[in-house]
Amino acid sequence: MDPISTFSGGRNADGVSSQVGLIWQQAKSPLFVPILKLLVTVCLGMSLMLFVERLYMGIVIVLVKIFGRKPEKSYNWEPFKDDLEIGNSNYPMVLIQIPMYNEKEVYQLSIGAACGLSWPSDRIIVQVLDDSTDPITKNLVEMECQRWRSKGINIKYEIRNNRNGYKAGALKEGMKHNYVKDCHFVAIFDADFQPEPDFLWRTIPFLVHNPQIALVQARWKFVNADECLMTRMQEMSLDYHFTVEQEVGSSTYAFFGFNGTAGVWRISAINEAGGWKDRTTVEDMDLAVRASLKGWKFVYVGDLKVKNELPSSFKAYRYQQHRWSCGPANLFRKMIKEIIRNNKVTVWKKVHVIYSFFFVRKIVAHIVTFIFYCVVLPTTVLVPEVQVPKWAAVYIPTTITLLNAVGTPRSLHLVVFWILFENVMSLHRTKATFIGLFEAGRVNEWVVTEKLGISNNKLLPSTKSFNKPNTTILHKIHLLELMVGAYLFFCGCYDFAFGINHYFIYLFFQSLAFFIAAFGYVGTFVPNSY
């Protein structure tokens, strides 16, 4: 008798379980085996693509470090010098944009940091773009702007009648004011970002002395990485992005995706690229790709770090990852023809943007993580006729994991937790990727990432007063994670009883990770109402 019949209770002659076994026997060979073999082949191909991409970037970053290829050596860079004859007129006019939406917890941090930037006071304008719908928050933000204005800071408080276009709409509207016409560059900081006073001194020289450069991007530094295990996992993923992906893109192609904040743009490059567009939820990446196709170059300054806050609640992180996964896939769908037809950049750069930047990193990486390791590999336990080579099941994912983890050496001991957590999140990233590719229902969903107002690992005293949490089971359960966890647990039990590959060790741990997420025991608890 087939093991799955026995496992489902086939020894009991009563009915249901024996019927299940019979149906499984009749459908397995003609239907499930060919489909599973095809899925294994496709997943193996995607795994190899991701492996080669990670290995290539690993080699490049090692060479960059060995040869000390810093942006200051690759491009003209020299500090500004005071000229007594012309005064401050040799300094370019810089606009600082701070888009925000009901940011009661962090508005003081971002406005204070922007107003504290070291730059000639008559050559800088701080522009607060407030889309808040909460009247109390709007009043607080406006009062904060007035307070800094009384100190002599040239700060503008701008509001709109609607939130059309979300962040992209706010940035676009902000560029229409008459005083912006005198500005040469614009630095953008999200509401929880806190640049150091020397930020402009370290970035603007790249733009002034290199007319081909459109963007200077700084690295993110996380003030609450040690808040909980979930923020440590986020730090590992994002450190790889900044330490490797951005560095490699800057060093080899002078192209990478703008991170939406902690960067300085040449305003003429924004205008030439067509300005801000709200056709996807990744307006920053959209602008970067369009500017790159116009021939502009980007510079990443990894030594320049800007403090910011990681989402510490699972709900906030899920919304953020949906936007970050859905948006690039949708942008890829919208721009692939435009990229192919472009004649201003080299074929090699177009191949890099389409294949490496979009297809492998933004689509394949999400899909193969979930489909292969959480669906196909567990299912092969039930269908022993289909085997996954050991190099694909063990060696390749181990190598990819180690290449990703080296970006955060201090967290290497957490690599097993990181793998399990990333696989859980791959469920939402895969779903969001398909939504973006096929422009399904939530393709334009924009939920502002919830922030707690953390500065130097301390919660600001003016932040939310928490209500009694809603602890009902139905409120906390996430059904998708629960269903995937149950399937993995079933496959693990079956493999333990009848399998030969010992996948059950991984399957039990992975199912436990899904169950933990399903019941909301991830991150810190943030109430729904305040």
> Residues with catalytic annotation?
131, 284
| Spatial CA neighbour of 315 closest among 256, 398, 230, 243 | 230
Distance, CA of 168 to CA of 165 (rounded, Å): 5
> Which backbone phi and psi does 286 adopt, to 5 degrees?
-60, -50
Q: What number of other Cβ atoms are within 10 A of residue 77's Cβ?
A: 18
Taking the alpha carbons of 156, 159, 163, 165 in that order, is the dihedral positive or negative?
A: negative
**Terminal CA-to-CA distance of the chain, rounded, Å?**
59
Phi, psi of 434 (to 5 degrees): -65, -35
**Residue 28: how many CB atoms within 10 A of its CB?**
16
Residues whose CB falls within 8 Å of the CB of residue 140, separated by 6 or more in sequence, listed in order: 104, 107
Most distant CA atoms of the chain, gap in Å: 100
Distance CA 47, CA 26 (A): 32
Distance CA 527, CA 24 (A): 46
Helix (H) or strand (E) holding 155: strand 155-159
Main-chain phi, psi angles of 373, to 5 degrees: -85, -15
Within 10 A of 445 (CB to CB), how many other CB atoms are there? 14
Q: How far is CA 86 from CA 78, 82, 91, 154, 371, in A?
A: 19, 9, 10, 21, 63
Contacts of 98 (CB under 8 A, 6+ apart): 110, 111, 114, 126, 127, 128, 129, 188, 189, 190, 191
Q: Is 82 left (phi over 0), alpha (psi -120 to 50) or beta?
A: beta
Cα-to-chain-centroid distance, residue 494 = 36
Q: Which helix (H) or strand (E) holds 218?
A: strand 213-222
Q: Give the whole-angstrom CA distance, residue 191 versus residue 196.
A: 15
Would you say 285 and 339 are in contact if contact means Cβ atoms under 8 Å apart? no
| Residues contacting residue 80 through CB under 8 Å, at least 6 positions apart | 90, 91, 201, 204, 205, 208
Neighbours of 467 (CB within 10 A): 10
Among 181, 182, 164, 195, which Cα is nearest to 98's? 195
- Using the Cα atoms of residue 207, residue 212, residue 214 and residue 218 in order, give the sign of their dihedral: negative
